[in-house]
Amino acid sequence: MTDAPVPELDPVIHAQARLRVMATLATLPDSDQITFPRLQEILRMTAGNLSVHLRKLEEAQYVEIVKTHHGRTPATLVGLTRRGRFAFEEYTAAVRALLDPPSAEETS
């Protein structure tokens, strides 16, 4: 057992629904976006529930939400910001560190 500090998990991402949103958006190439209905379908979340979690992620500047039109049809696009992608990478690194802490030899 080592005395290495336990990594902190970002509480904004750590909520299960927001973690699922972030993990899904992280699969998109940089600067790519997904439509709200498609994200809702993938995650199998209600529109209201997804909206609440996206708002929290948007307040943290982890996602960007763009409201636009395709012809006359309104469309809402969702994508990770650079800050959001970095936060998710930091989060996943912290989880890995919790699950597989360095051995005493690695920390010496």
Quote the tokens at residue 16. 């299960």
For residue 104, the model assigns a pLDDT of 56
For residue 3, the model assigns a pLDDT of 62
For residue 6, the model assigns a pLDDT of 73
Q: Which residue numbers in the chain have pLDDT < 70?
A: 1-4, 103-108
For residue 5, the model assigns a pLDDT of 73
For residue 103, the model assigns a pLDDT of 67
> Is 11-99 a CATH 1.10.10.10 domain?
yes
The domain limits of the chain are 11-99
For residue 106, the model assigns a pLDDT of 58
CA distance 41 to 20: 12
For residue 7, the model assigns a pLDDT of 79
Entry pTM: 0.86
For residue 70, the model assigns a pLDDT of 85
For residue 100, the model assigns a pLDDT of 87
3-state secondary structure of 20: helix
